[in-house]
Chain A
Amino acid sequence: SQTIHQWPATLVQPVGSPLSLECTVEGTSNPNLYWYRQAAGRGLQLLFYSVGIGQISSEVPQNLSASRPQDRQFILSSKKLLLSDSGFYLCAWSREGGRAHEQFFGPGTRLTVL
């Protein structure tokens, strides 16, 4: 069966510090990978998606970047965090292919920037 992991679960960082959130998927190959941000009491905003190693598409301009160094590893980074980067970050995966498929979400990382 497939599983998706995210870490850390919670993170408190000062403004201006760097960020690295990691997501890994087990039990599948060539998944599509996604990073979402969820502000408190709000919906899910797609930040990045990837259909393969080194292939990253950004949905919104922002202070964050993403990388996919391995097939089942997706990393969200920032060089200098802003207060507005606080939120609940969710990684998700779906099966490859052009047809829309269910997205499976990880447990999330709650980031607080002070």
Chain B
Amino acid sequence: GENVEQHPSTLSVQEGDSAVIKCTYSDSASNYFPWYKQELGKGPQLIIDIRSNVGEKKDQRIAVTLNKTAKHFSLHITETQPEDSAVYFCAASGSYGQNFVFGPGTRLSVLP
């Protein structure tokens, strides 16, 4: 089955700097890769996603890149702000497409 690894587990950056979180997956049939942000005590919320027919996607300060050959994808947050502090999860769709396998999460702290 699918296995998703995520690094780093914790990340501290100064406000205004960029943050990068990387994930790798094992199942070459996976074709959908969402990123979720989870604030303390709340459910995860989707912030950006990418499908396997696209190499990069941007939404304001957030971007995701996908390298299908290497089976890894990354989240890039530019001009970080304190409200970006949260736990971020990557996920990959299973071979059927319905179920996700989540990475273990990255705790991002943006220091003012």
Contacts and interface: CB of A to CB of B under 8 A. Distances in A.
Interface of A: 32, 34, 42-44, 46, 49, 51, 59, 90, 92, 94, 98-108, 110
B42 interface: yes
A110 to B, nearest CB: 8
B99 A98 contact: no
B53 to A, nearest CB: 12
B98 A51 contact: yes
Given A98-B98, A100-B97, 19 more contacts: A34-B99, A42-B104, A43-B104, A44-B44, A44-B102, A46-B100, A49-B99, A51-B98, A90-B44, A98-B96, A98-B97, A99-B32, A99-B97, A100-B93, A100-B98, A101-B32, A103-B34, A107-B42, A108-B42
B98 A94 contact: yes
A102 B49 contact: yes
Interface of B: 31-32, 34, 36, 41-46, 49, 89, 93, 96-105
8 contacts: A43-B104, A44-B102, A49-B98, A94-B98, A100-B31, A105-B44, A105-B45, A108-B41
